[in-house]
Amino acid sequence: MFTDKNLRVDMTKVRENAQKIDNVLITDGYLANPEEVITHLSQLGKITRNFVFLTERAKYDEWKKINLHNTWVYLADTSASLTNLAVGLSRRLVTDTSS
């Protein structure tokens, strides 16, 4: 069964004002168009970084093969790994911006 999950968000004001944006995408990895999604996220600011947390191990290897600019893909297939990655990434990003 296929579920249409089209989502449209007006990001005009964000694009006009954002210099640097960090995007965090938590997904099972079953996106029909991962390259398009990441490309869209990458265009939201002048400088963007994308962090993808995949909750399905089976999709992790597929996503790692995709060449996505300024994008890091992490496996988060348990609640604990997702929490640890999210907290660790948040700490690192705060440290990066305060330097």
Q: pLDDT for 59-98, tens place per residue?
A: 998 998 888 889 999 999 888 888 888 788 777 777 766 5
Name residues whose C-beta falls within 8 Å of residue 64's C-beta, 6 or more positions apart in sequence. 73
Helix (H, G, I), strand (E, B), or coil: what is residue 49? strand
d(C-alpha 43, C-alpha 59), whole Å: 24
Residue 4 lies in a domain: no
Span 24-40, average pLDDT? 91
Please tell me the pTM assigned to this model. 0.74
Q: Is the pLDDT of residue 99 over 60?
A: no
Closest CA to 92 of 43, 17, 24, 18: 24
The rounded distance, in Å, linking the Cα atoms of 21 and 30 is 24
Domains of the chain: total? 1
Q: Return the half-sphere exposure (C-beta side, CA atoms, 13 A cut-off) of residue 44.
A: 20
The domain of 30 spans: 12-98
The reply to whether 87 falls in a domain is yes
In a domain, 82, yes or no: yes
